[in-house]
Amino acid sequence: MAVIKKSKAVKINQNHLLGIQDLSFSDISEILNEAKKFIKLNKSSSKKTDLLRGKTQINLFFEPSTRTQSSFELAGKRLGADVMSMNIVNSAIKKGETLIDTAMTLNAMHPDIIVIRHQDSGAPNLLSQKVNCAVINAGDGRREHPTQALLDALTIINRKGKVEGLKIAICGDILHSRVARSNIYLMNMLGAEINVVAPKTLLPHSIERLGVKVFNNMKKGLENCDIVMMLRLQNERMQGSFVPSPREYYEYFGLTPDKLESAKKDALIMHPGPMNRGIEIDTSLADDINRSVIREQVELGVAVRMACLKIFCKRTL
Amino acid sequence: MKEKYLINARIIDPKNKIDEFGGLIIDEKGLIKNVGKEVSNENLPNDAEKIDLKNKILMPGLVDMRVFVGEPGFEYKENFRTLSDAAVSGGVTSVVSMPNTDPVIDNISMVDFLKRRGRDKSKINIFPAASLTKNADGIKMTEFGLLKRKGIAGFTDGVRTVQDPQLMSRIMNFASQSDSLIMQHAEDNILSKGGHINDGEISTRLGLQGIPSLAERIIVERDLAFLEEYFCRYHILQVSSEKTVSVIRKNKKEGKIFTAGVSINNLSLNENDIGDFKTFLKLSPPLRTENDRLSLVEAVNDGTIDVIVSDHKPEDEESKRLTFAQSATGAAGVETLLPLALELFHNKLIKLDKLISTMTSNPSKILGIKKGSLDIGNEADLCVLDINKPWVVKKGELKSKSKNTSIENRKLQGQVLKTFVKGQLLFNRT
């Protein structure tokens, strides 16, 4: 555990968790250290604590989500908080209420923490300016998904002992991916070397300025990598045509045993889910218990979110 | 109205190449009777109304070629009275109003309405633009000849671009018949679809879809190719990128006759100013890189760009208090146009007479109006300027009905002291 040193003096400088970009190295260490404590708790028979007893957590999901929403819900409940998940489909937002008005309404109910997912980049930032409680970003547009990156880091540390010095390939639809952006910021800060592998049409402008090497050839991009992070082809965010067909995409950018050959022998396969089997990842690789840590990511996700809820909820006390 | 003698001023009139100390006489009809060093304290008639300008700058009132009024349809954003108050406090005495109202200014009955409202409610000169296409939806062209005869100064779809190349070529071909001025907002709608800010590192970091500068360049190149076949009075409303500047420079060098403008926002700000999703800086064309900004400054200097506009687009709070993607585009700026432009002079980037000409004589020449100069016999539209006065932009102090300034809290140097329209003192800073 070279990267994460225990230090009691460490204090998070932020009131909200809006993105990895706002965090310092010590902030990240504190979150990951805290999360490690919850891994054990989550495996024990009695999973409940009373760390956030009496606190109210509101989950505000403007986009459909299974794993992140249930992960946050479970995390809050295991910490003893009262958790309410807003069903946006039935809410006033569908009647034309703006985000700020919704925020003010919820704020009047004195929540301690709001977890928000929104299709627009920057929505959590806007919300955080208008409420008195802590805001946790559960994914905004293409910008950031900080808890996903943190759980990815925790998964890597759990398996490889550290992030520093590792070579990580992030592959697929980088353009539309908030997971890619948060991971680039986080893994860079933790000292990894990052390759992004994607067709040119799925790369955002000036991505190399974020501190990554860009590859359009997957075998070259995976060379000597310790971690292969696959991303979902986000068809629902695409306006128009970016790749000719799923078949052609799979041929050049799908993770297959053949392409994985060029990575290190013990390279881990990661995926934030939900997966498109046969489009970005070969189905046997996704299920290979020796290589794939995809289910472990989900498991550690709860621990990371418990840590975030605990730390950021405390901040506003 | 009595004759007014404005004395002890530094007179700047780029059209007549005047920069000298002297005075100006406004006659009983509000016209300029005489101007220059011969108008001084000594030869004043005893009973004349005398205004001592104490060595401050006296220059033509500004002509702003791109301003949005909320009438009709968006009166809650800006009406003629509030626009007029905002304009005179910034030394702007003439504006070209964009046709993107509700309904769109696309037929002659709307022109009558505008002229009447403009005359009754505003003190400044309103030169209305009409849309190039019906309802500005890019399908059918408007009646250029009839509209021009009614007093339309120019034609543009304002916030939109005529996308269909066949229609655009026909517009340029037909409009030349009535000698109509075509003003294009150059942005390919398909390339820019879904975009909110400049396509670059900042859009990648903020996770916002970008608008490539190619979207602008491609329309400019297309239209300039048409101009070879179908010559007409053609003006590009706002240039934002280095790529487009090169295209314009090359075409002007080859002898093509057309003009181009730039928003003061693109000359003074860049994409980094958007910071943490400041929706007041969501603009069209978008703010681009510092490199692009510097290329625009150079383009003003070498005459590639002829005009600086405020791109005054008032938006109420409800249209801006949203996520960046949902927020309306545009910033209010008619009253800060001149002081913000002076920053370029104080920073020694653009010479004063050049800078003033881009907001007075150049737009007047393009529009073919008798404004923007101190010609004897012209209506006395004047602006008195303290070029060194420091002040800070506070949105609460803005006269515009909407307060969406792109330069909140910016420290500026130079403030308008007095504004005359048709010889009448309509603004006097105390």
Whether residues B207 and A181 touch (CB distance < 8 A) is answered with yes
- Which pair of structure tokens corresponds to residue B82? 């509030």
- Tens-digit pLDDT profile for residues B205-262: 999 999 999 999 999 999 999 999 999 999 999 999 999 999 999 999 999 999 999 9
Whether residues B323 and A205 touch (CB distance < 8 A) is answered with no
Q: Identify which has the larger pLDDT, B214 or A102.
A: B214
Contacts of A207 in chain B (CB under 8 A): 204
User: Is A139 at the interface with chain B, CB within 8 A?
Assistant: no
- In the block, residue with structure tokens 């009595």: B2
* Torsional class of A139: left (φ above 0), alpha (ψ -120 to 50), beta (otherwise): left
CA separation for the pair A229, B132 (Å, rounded): 51
A281: Cβ contacts below 8 Å, ≥ 6 apart: A230, A254, A255, A269, A271, A275
Q: What percent of chain A has pLDDT over 90?
A: 77
Contacts of B209 in chain A (CB under 8 A): 142
If one counts every other C-beta atom within 10 angstroms of the C-beta of residue B326, the result is 17
Whether residues B201 and A21 touch (CB distance < 8 A) is answered with no
Does A66 have pLDDT greater than 90? no
Q: At what angle do helices A99-107 and A123-130 cross, to 10 degrees?
A: 40
- A194 band by pLDDT with thresholds 50, 70 and 90: very high
Whether residues A178 and B326 touch (CB distance < 8 A) is answered with no
If one counts every other C-beta atom within 10 angstroms of the C-beta of residue B190, the result is 9
User: ∠ at Cα B322 (A139, B241), nearest 5°?
Assistant: 90
Distance in Å, alpha carbon of A52 to nearest chain B alpha carbon: 31
User: Is A204 at the interface with chain B, CB within 8 A?
Assistant: yes
Give residue A6's pLDDT: 43
Select the residue of B194, B207, B209 nearest A140 (Cβ to Cβ). Answer: B207
Q: What percent of chain B has pLDDT over 90?
A: 94
Nearest CA in chain B to A99: B322
Which of A99, A100, A119, A126 is best to mutate for the B interface (most B CBs within 10 A)? A126
User: Is A74 at the interface with chain B, CB within 8 A?
Assistant: no
A223: Cβ contacts below 8 Å, ≥ 6 apart: A262, A263
CA separation for the pair B391, B414 (Å, rounded): 8
- Which pair of structure tokens corresponds to residue A36? 């490690």
Give residue B330's pLDDT: 97
- Which pair of structure tokens corresponds to residue B386? 């303290």
User: Is A125 at the interface with chain B, CB within 8 A?
Assistant: yes
Longest distance between any two alpha carbons in chain B, whole Å: 69
- Which pair of structure tokens corresponds to residue A104? 């003010």
- A90 band by pLDDT with thresholds 50, 70 and 90: low
Contacts of A129 in chain B (CB under 8 A): none
- Tens-digit pLDDT profile for residues B278-299: 999 999 999 999 999 999 999 9
CA separation for the pair A47, A56 (Å, rounded): 19
Q: Taking the C-alpha atoms of B201, B202, B205 and B207 in order, what is their torsion angle to the nearest 10 degrees?
A: -110
* Torsional class of B303: left (φ above 0), alpha (ψ -120 to 50), beta (otherwise): left
Give residue A315's pLDDT: 59
Distance in Å, alpha carbon of A94 to nearest chain B alpha carbon: 15
Task: Give how far Cα B110 sits from Cα of B101, B118, B131, B134, B322, Å.
Answer: 10, 12, 11, 12, 32
Does A7 have pLDDT greater than 50? no
Report A:213-242 residues touching B (Cβ under 8 A). Answer: 239
**Predicted ipTM of the assembly:** 0.90
User: Is A176 at the interface with chain B, CB within 8 A?
Assistant: no
Select the residue of B207, B210, B277 nearest A205 (Cβ to Cβ). Answer: B210
- Which pair of structure tokens corresponds to residue A89? 């489909």
- A64 band by pLDDT with thresholds 50, 70 and 90: confident
Please say if B311 is a catalytic residue.
Answer: yes
Whether residues A123 and B200 touch (CB distance < 8 A) is answered with no
Give residue A12's pLDDT: 65
**Please, what is the average pLDDT of chain A?**
91
- Total length of chain A: 317
Q: Which of A53, A95, A42, A96 is nearest to A306 (CA)?
A: A42
Give residue B417's pLDDT: 98
Q: What are phi and psi of A75, to 5 degrees?
A: -60, -45
**Please, what is the average pLDDT of chain B?**
96
- A3 band by pLDDT with thresholds 50, 70 and 90: very low
CA separation for the pair A109, B51 (Å, rounded): 62
Query: Could you give the residue ranges of the DSSP H alpha helices within A135-223?
Result: 146-160, 178-189, 218-222
Residue B171's identity, in one-letter code, is I
pTM equals 0.93
Give residue A316's pLDDT: 52
Nearest CA in chain A to B201: A206
Q: Which of B136, B406, B393 is nearest to B274 (CA)?
A: B406
User: CA torsion sign, A273 to A276 to A279 to A284?
Assistant: positive
Task: Characterize the bridge pairing of strands A167-171 and A193-197.
Answer: parallel
CA separation for the pair A30, A18 (Å, rounded): 16
Give residue A2's pLDDT: 36
- B42 band by pLDDT with thresholds 50, 70 and 90: confident
CA separation for the pair B66, B262 (Å, rounded): 10
- A103 band by pLDDT with thresholds 50, 70 and 90: confident
Beta-ladder partners of A194: A168
Report B:304-363 residues touching A (Cβ under 8 A). Answer: 318, 321-326
Q: What percent of chain A has pLDDT over 70?
A: 92
Nearest CA in chain A to B325: A120
Q: Which helix (H) or strand (E) holds B18?
A: strand B18-26
CA separation for the pair B213, B292 (Å, rounded): 10
Task: Give how far Cα B120 sits from Cα of B103, B125, B325, Å.
Answer: 20, 11, 38
- Tens-digit pLDDT profile for residues B391-416: 999 999 999 999 999 999 999 999 99
Whether residues A141 and B200 touch (CB distance < 8 A) is answered with no
Contact, B350 vs B301, CB < 8 A? yes
Q: Which of B165, B204, B312, B290 is nearest to B240 (CA)?
A: B290
CA separation for the pair B365, B181 (Å, rounded): 12
Q: What percent of chain B has pLDDT over 70?
A: 100
- Tens-digit pLDDT profile for residues A115-153: 999 999 999 999 999 999 999 999 999 999 999 999 999
Contacts of A100 in chain B (CB under 8 A): 321-322
Contact, B124 vs B87, CB < 8 A? yes
User: Is B112 at the interface with chain A, CB within 8 A?
Assistant: no
| Inter-chain contacts counted by CB atoms under 8 A, chains A and B | 72
Give residue A16's pLDDT: 95
Whether residues A178 and B210 touch (CB distance < 8 A) is answered with no
- Tens-digit pLDDT profile for residues B334-386: 999 999 999 999 999 999 999 999 999 999 999 999 999 999 999 999 999 99
Does B97 have pLDDT greater than 90? yes
Catalytic residue among B85, B106, B199, B311: B311
Longest distance between any two alpha carbons in chain A, whole Å: 56
